[in-house]
Amino acid sequence: MRKQNTDNSRIPILGAYHLSVGYTQSNTKSEVQKNLKLKMFTGELVCLLGPNGAGKSTLLRTLSGIQPSIKGDIKVAGKNLDDYSIQELAKVVSTVLTDQVFVDHMRVYDLVAMGRYPYTGYFGRLSVLDHEIIDEAIALAGIEPLKERFLDQLSDGERQKVMIARALAQETPFIILDEPMAFLDFPSKLELMQILRNLASEHNKAILMTTHDLSLSIQSADWIWLIGHDQRIRRGVPEDLVLKGDFADFFKKDDISFDMHTGEFRIENATEKRISVRGGGLNGSWVRKALMRKGYTITNAAKGKEKIYVANKPELEVTVKLKDKEVTVNSVKDLLLMLEKEQ
């Protein structure tokens, strides 16, 4: 942490060329991904996205040295991955994996302290400096109140942060995380992403993570790598991928569409029902969302010709034109009920 603090220059941390990853079982090689070209610098947060089974975890395991690559070169911090000894590698790459760590009677502090093992002597005795680094890692991960707690008293989100603190205590320039946000509730996801973003920007770490959370990745990542079955990897700045239509293309499915405006996927309830809505603002956009969920295709209409008018006021006020009269309602629930009754 302190090392990288002073020097914020970008150093290439990962380079992979013609890389094939997969499994070798009794001499038959099954390549999950082939011919990958990857590049990463310190200070960057990269989100690796792709459907289940596309080989995201396999790629991460290969890059962190847990399993061998099938073909190609991997350079980590300027040196071939194969040329590292296990002990040397522990000082360059740290991982947060999906492996569950359930150890009875282990305190959070002791677990984070294990991050110092690559640096300690034969008996794993911690120096004063080690304790300082552990405290710093605990502070960065925001888990000071949990320090003295036992591991089995933590929630999933708290445990995930503890594992991140452990990786931080390892003081590696490169951190690899496999689905760190799985099983977390939404606020915890945001908090975790913020921590990771901060580690990349402020502490010049190179962070590579897999996730299924598209909108959070678009908001936070410097780069997004998209991998899929039988498709070339696509790398780019999130906004470029959105605008070039890569996301829409990549996760294409019949009843799901990618909304370029919000950066979110939407379930498409394609029907013939069309409805015209006028009026904008926050209220307008939520009314449109509700109508789309109910299967309406939203159209625009000239002033006075619209079916539904959302007043531009702080409180919700929706005017619906029915056959013979106009009705004003103050909740989305009433609006939907009204439309249902009309049919």
Binding mask 202-241 for other proteins (x = CB under 8 A): ----------------------------------------
Q: Tokens at residue 76, please?
A: 């980590």
DSSP string, 282-304: HHHHHHHHHHHHTTPEEE---TT
Site for other proteins in 169-188 (CB under 8 A): 170
Distance in Å, CB of 191 to other proteins, minimum: 23
Q: Chain centroid to CA 95: how far?
A: 15
CA distance 160 to 141: 10
Q: Is 242 left (phi over 0), alpha (psi -120 to 50) or beta?
A: alpha
Site for other proteins in 42-81 (CB under 8 A): 61, 64-66
Q: What angle do CA 11, 43, 236 make, to 5 degrees?
A: 95
Binding residue for other proteins, selected from 8, 24, 35, 87, defined by CB under 8 A:
87
279 touches other proteins (CB under 8 A): no
Of 83 and 239, which CB lies nearer to other proteins in the complex structure? 83
Helices 186-203 and 156-169, packing angle to 10 deg = 10
Binding residue for other proteins, selected from 11, 39, 75, 114, defined by CB under 8 A:
114
Select the span of 88-96, 183-191, 245-253, 302-310 touching other proteins (CB under 8 A): 88-96
Binding residue for other proteins, selected from 53, 68, 124, 245, defined by CB under 8 A:
124
The answer to whether 98 touches 82, Cβ cutoff 8 Å, is no
CA distance 13 to 285: 43
Binding residue for other proteins, selected from 33, 57, 94, 160, defined by CB under 8 A:
94
Binding residue for other proteins, selected from 9, 26, 27, 99, defined by CB under 8 A:
99
Distance in Å, CB of 9 to other proteins, minimum: 26
156 touches other proteins (CB under 8 A): no
Strand partners, 277: 308
Q: Is 97 left (phi over 0), alpha (psi -120 to 50) or beta?
A: beta
Q: Tokens at residue 255, please?
A: 């009843």
Binding residue for other proteins, selected from 117, 250, 251, 265, defined by CB under 8 A:
117
The answer to whether 156 touches 184, Cβ cutoff 8 Å, is yes
319 touches other proteins (CB under 8 A): no
- DSSP conformational letter for 179: S
CA distance 39 to 190: 26
128 touches other proteins (CB under 8 A): no
Amino acid at 166: R
Select the span of 99-107, 154-162, 194-202, 296-304 touching other proteins (CB under 8 A): 99-107
Q: What angle do CA 255, 339, 334 make, to 5 degrees?
A: 105
22 touches other proteins (CB under 8 A): no
What values do phi and psi take at 328, rounded to 5?
A: -110, 130
Of 183 and 250, which CB lies nearer to other proteins in the complex structure? 183
Distance in Å, CB of 318 to other proteins, minimum: 49
Select the span of 84-92, 215-223, 251-259, 297-305 touching other proteins (CB under 8 A): 84-92
- DSSP conformational letter for 125: P
165 touches other proteins (CB under 8 A): no
For other proteins, the binding residues (CB under 8 A) are 61, 64-66, 86-87, 89-91, 93-95, 97, 99, 101, 103-107, 110-111, 114-115, 117-118, 120, 122-124, 152, 170
